[in-house]
Amino acid sequence: MRSIKRMIKPLINNQLTLPSELLDLPTVTITGNKQIAIEQHYKLISFSTNEIKLQCEKGIIQINGQTLTIKMMYAREIILEGVIEKIIFHQ
């Protein structure tokens, strides 16, 4: 069943414009270089004041910066604060 879902998602995405939540894509909202909110992540892989890594459906989101802190964390949403210097998407 899971392999059928993976085959159908790209076909649907190419034909229709669907919300990112239905496609399990992360939504990243950045406020200046001081705050970042990420929805649709699955787990916190690593955390330090200089680097945070989050596992998502399509890969890993890495946030680099200074004095990074977790302001809020729910099951599928996280808000980070600090001086954000770099955001990297690993597939």
What are 45-67's pLDDT values in tens digits?
Answer: 999 999 999 999 889 999 999 99
Closest CA to 66 of 38, 34, 43: 34
Query: Contact, 23 vs 10, CB < 8 A?
Result: no
Element (H, E) at 14: helix 2-15
What pLDDT, on a 0 to 100 scale, did the predictor assign at position 1?
A: 54
What pLDDT, on a 0 to 100 scale, did the predictor assign at position 11?
A: 63
What residue type is assigned to position 64 of the chain? Answer: N
pLDDT band at 72 (very low <50, low <70, confident <90, very high): very high
Domains, the chain, ordered by start: 20-90 (2.60.40.2000)
pTM over 0.95: no
